[in-house]
Structure 1
Amino acid sequence: MCAAEPWKGPGQPGAPLTPSNTPRPQWPYCEKRCSYCNFNKYIPRGVDEAAMRSCLVTEAQTLLRLSGVQRVESVFFGGGTPSLASPHTVAAVLEAVAQTAHLPADSEVTLEVNPTSAPASRLAAFGAAGVNRLSIGLQSLDDTELQLLGRTHSARDALRTLAEARRLFPGRVSVDLMLGLPAQQVGPWLRQLEELLRRCDDHLSLYQLSLERGTALFTRVQRGALPTPDPERAAEMYQEGRALLREAGFRQYEVSNFARHGALSTHNWTYWQCGQYIGVGPGAHGRFVPQGAGGLAREARIQTLEPDNWMKEVKLFGHGTRKRVSLGELELLEEVLAMGLRTDVGITHQHWQQFEPQLTLRDVFGASEEVNRLLEQGGLRCSWEGLAVLDSLLLTLLPRLQEAWQQKTPSPVPGG
Structure 2
Amino acid sequence: MMIRGPLLRVLPPGVRSFSAARCTVDERPEAPRVTQQASLYVHWPYCLRRCTYCNFNKYIPKENKDHLITKCLLQETETLLQLSGVSRITSVFFGGGTPSLAPPSTIAAILESVSKLVNLSHDAEVTIEVNPTPAGMSKLEDFCSAGVNRFSIGVQSLQDEDLKVLGRDHSSRESLQTIAEARRLCPGRVSVDMMFGRPRQTVESWEKELAELLEICDDHVSLYQLTLERGTQLFKQVHCGVASVPGDDVTADMYHSARRTLQQHGFLQYEVSNFARHNSMSGHNMSYWKGEQYIGVGPGAHGRFVPVGEGGLDREARTQTLEPDVWMREVQQSGHGTRRRTHLSHLQLLEEVLVMGMRMTKGITNKHWELFSPHMSLQEVFGASSDVQELLRNQRLILNDRGLRCSWDGLALLDSILPTLLVELEKQTFLKPH
Q: SS of the residue aligned with 2:133?
A: helix
Does 2:402 correspond to 1:400? no
Greater shift after overlay, 318-327 or 119-128? Answer: 119-128
Percent identity among equivalent residues? 58
CA-CA distance at 1:385 after TM superposition: 1.5
Aligned residues: 397
Find runs of 4+ consecutive structure 1 residues off by over 6 angstroms: none
Specify the alignment match of 1:327 in structure 2: 344
Does 2:255 correspond to 1:231? no
Specify the alignment match of 1:176 in structure 2: 193
CA-CA distance at 1:30 after TM superposition: 0.3
Specify the alignment match of 2:364 in structure 1: 347
Specify the alignment match of 1:241 in structure 2: 258
Greater shift after overlay, 187-196 or 361-370? Answer: 361-370
Does 2:173 correspond to 1:149? no
Greater shift after overlay, 273-282 or 359-368? Answer: 359-368
CA-CA distance at 1:119 after TM superposition: 4.8
1:198-231 superposed Cα distances (whole Å, 9 cap, x missing partner): 1000000000001000000000001110124311
Does 2:373 correspond to 1:380? no
Q: How far, CA to CA, are the matches of 2:433 and 2:134 in structure 1?
A: 53
* 2:318–2:340 CA contact under 8 A, matched in 1: yes
Specify the alignment match of 1:32 in structure 2: 49
Q: How far, CA to CA, are the matches of 1:105 and 1:138 in structure 2?
A: 29
Tell me which amino acid in the other structure corresponds to 2:225.
Q
CA-CA distance at 1:293 after TM superposition: 2.3
Q: How far, CA to CA, are the matches of 1:32 and 1:282 in structure 2?
A: 18
Greater shift after overlay, 393-402 or 36-45? Answer: 393-402
Q: SS of the residue aligned with 1:137?
A: strand
Q: How far, CA to CA, are the matches of 1:36 and 1:215 in structure 2?
A: 6
Q: How far, CA to CA, are the matches of 1:319 and 1:375 in structure 2?
A: 43
Specify the alignment match of 2:116 in structure 1: 99
Does 2:227 correspond to 1:210? yes
* 2:398–2:406 CA contact under 8 A, matched in 1: no
* 1:16–1:350 CA contact under 8 A, matched in 2: no
The 1:155–1:97 alpha-carbon spacing in structure 2 relative to 1, beyond 3 Å, is same
Greater shift after overlay, 84-93 or 339-348? Answer: 339-348
Tell me which amino acid in the other structure corresponds to 1:384.
W
Q: How far, CA to CA, are the matches of 2:183 and 2:201 in structure 1?
A: 29
Specify the alignment match of 2:179 in structure 1: 162
Q: How far, CA to CA, are the matches of 1:114 and 1:205 in structure 2?
A: 15
Tell me which amino acid in the other structure corresponds to 1:206.
L
Q: How far, CA to CA, are the matches of 2:151 and 2:414 in structure 1?
A: 28
Residue of structure 2 aligned with 1:65, choices 61, 82, 86: 82
1:41-67 superposed Cα distances (whole Å, 9 cap, x missing partner): 001111221111111001001101110
The 1:27–1:117 alpha-carbon spacing in structure 2 relative to 1, beyond 3 Å, is farther
CA-CA distance at 1:294 after TM superposition: 2.6
CA-CA distance at 1:16 after TM superposition: 10
Question: Taking structure 2 as the reference length, what is the TM-score of the superposition?
Answer: 0.88
Residue of structure 1 aligned with 2:210, choices 193, 214, 237: 193
1:361-406 superposed Cα distances (whole Å, 9 cap, x missing partner): 1111112567599443310111122111111111221111111112
* 2:219–2:276 CA contact under 8 A, matched in 1: yes
* 1:23–1:76 CA contact under 8 A, matched in 2: yes
* 2:202–2:246 CA contact under 8 A, matched in 1: no
Specify the alignment match of 1:50 in structure 2: 67
Question: Taking structure 1 as the reference length, what is the TM-score of the superposition?
Answer: 0.92
Residue of structure 2 aligned with 1:389, choices 413, 417, 422: 413
Q: SS of the residue aligned with 1:301?
A: strand
Q: SS of the residue aligned with 2:304?
A: strand
Q: SS of the residue aligned with 2:296?
A: strand
Q: SS of the residue aligned with 2:170?
A: coil
Q: How far, CA to CA, are the matches of 2:161 and 2:137 in structure 1?
A: 25
The 1:117–1:57 alpha-carbon spacing in structure 2 relative to 1, beyond 3 Å, is farther
Tell me which amino acid in the other structure corresponds to 1:98.
S
The 1:18–1:197 alpha-carbon spacing in structure 2 relative to 1, beyond 3 Å, is farther
* 1:182–1:230 CA contact under 8 A, matched in 2: no
Q: How far, CA to CA, are the matches of 1:289 and 1:194 in structure 2?
A: 45
Highest relative contact order (Cα 8 Å, sep 6+), 1 or 2? 2
Residue of structure 2 aligned with 1:90, choices 103, 107, 124: 107
Residue of structure 2 aligned with 1:266, choices 245, 263, 283: 283
Tell me which amino acid in the other structure corresponds to 2:82.
R
